[in-house]
Amino acid sequence: MEQETILYYYPLAGQSDSADNTTAAKKHWFQEAVLQTRQLGAQEEFCVMGCAIPPFYYRKKEWRAPVLFEAMEAALQTAAGMTDTCVHPDILRFLEPKMWERWQPCARTIKLLLKYLLEQQAEKALARTGMVTVLLGQIGETDQQLQTIRELLAPYLPRVNRMLLYYEGQETLRESRETELEDGWKAWRRSSGYEDGGETVGEDEREMLQDYTEEYYYEYGLVVQLIPYNRVRAAETTKDALSVQGDSVTLRCGKERCGGLILDYSDGFRYPKLMSEGVYIDVVSDGEKERLVNRKSPAIPYVSPLKYLDTLVKNSYDGKVKMK
């Protein structure tokens, strides 16, 4: 199998207001920026190339989206082999939203990074607890997430004696939309393939999860504990839920203690009650999750694909940009 190349675009630190900043992209906006790439690290199945995006300091302006897009595209064309891209969030903000899809990593790339992170972290996380906690994300992606999780955990499942799986359940899904107009609710059900009087979304979801997790029992004798997220209104949240305001709601884990190997696919922090042992692997690489995990349980290391790439980058590249 051919080794995959991951081209990681990241911000190059620089003083944007310094007149002698040689790492900044300067001169005039109409000039072409040429970005440099450099290998940062290599594993058996993939290698990581770094592409530093320096700051502009000309008149204290930022990159123009089309100029940066073209420069990133040109750098991608110079990378050999099967190449995919990962982009730091601070770089994406320079681009227009319609350009973001072009730079999203494919599922295979995220799986390769997660596989490597598990190889580094899973043994230690399972040694004392023998526990896996999975926080599923959006309900429409459940099937894909479950398949990926099964593949990633396969080498470690014989050593697992307890597994928690959080999901968006019936009450979670219903109540999170109860403030919508009745017509809007019916329209959503029709568009999702559910007719009034039939099975509820939550029942379908739990049945699907039970069918899928039965394989864990037959092959490993492991009974997966299915737990729906709790729906919490703003008035019911603690001071930690700073992002919840007004009549908004948030999804949170319940009273079960989460620990061991924690895989988080959710699109927002679910405030799990963390044990003192384990590792927190954030699949979606949300910086806010890292801050909250470190504050709630400093003993549990936070790991993510983005953090791994940033670790490779740190103090390893002093690239510059040339202007034509």
pLDDT in tens, 210-233: 888 899 999 999 999 999 999 887
Give the Cα separation of 322 and 206 in Å (integer).
55
Report residue 24's pLDDT band, with 50, 70 and 90 as the boundaries: low
Q: Which residues, at least 6 apart from 314, have a Cβ–Cβ distance to it below 8 Å?
A: none
- pLDDT at 2 (0 to 100): 75
Give the Cα separation of 276 and 278 in Å (integer).
7
Residue 241 has pLDDT above 90, yes or no: no
Residue 312 has pLDDT above 60, yes or no: yes
- pLDDT at 236 (0 to 100): 53
Pair of tokens at residue 157: 């499942």
Closest CA to 84 of 1, 3, 4: 4
**Mean pLDDT in the chain?**
80
How much of the chain, in percent, has pLDDT values that exceed 70? Answer: 74
**Which helix (H) or strand (E) segment is 161 a member of?**
none
- Label residues 231-267 b or e (16+ Cβ within 10 Å = b): bbeeeebeeebeebeeeebbbbbeeeebbbbbbbbbe
pLDDT in tens, 246-293: 456 789 998 899 999 999 999 999 999 999 899 999 999 999 999 999
Q: Distance of CA 137 to CAs 224, 230, 241, 262, Å?
A: 17, 14, 18, 13
Sign of the alpha-carbon torsion through 149, 84, 98, 37: positive
- pLDDT at 235 (0 to 100): 53
**∠ Cα 141 146 149 (to 5°):** 120
- pLDDT at 292 (0 to 100): 94
State the angle between helix axes of 142-153 and 107-129 in degrees (0 to 180), rounded to the nearest 10: 60
Determine which of 82-96, 98-112, 174-188 has the lowest per-residue pLDDT on average: 174-188
Cα 291 to the chain's mean position, in Å?
Answer: 14
Mean pLDDT of 77-105: 91
Pair of tokens at residue 78: 């110079």
Q: Any alpha helices (H) in the chain, and if so which ranges?
A: 65-78, 89-92, 97-100, 107-129, 142-153, 170-175, 182-191, 201-220, 287-296, 305-313
Of 14 and 150, which is predicted with more confidence?
A: 150
CA dihedral 288, 294, 296, 298 (to 10 degrees): 170
- pLDDT at 252 (0 to 100): 93
Residue 191 has pLDDT above 70, yes or no: no
Pair of tokens at residue 206: 């739990």
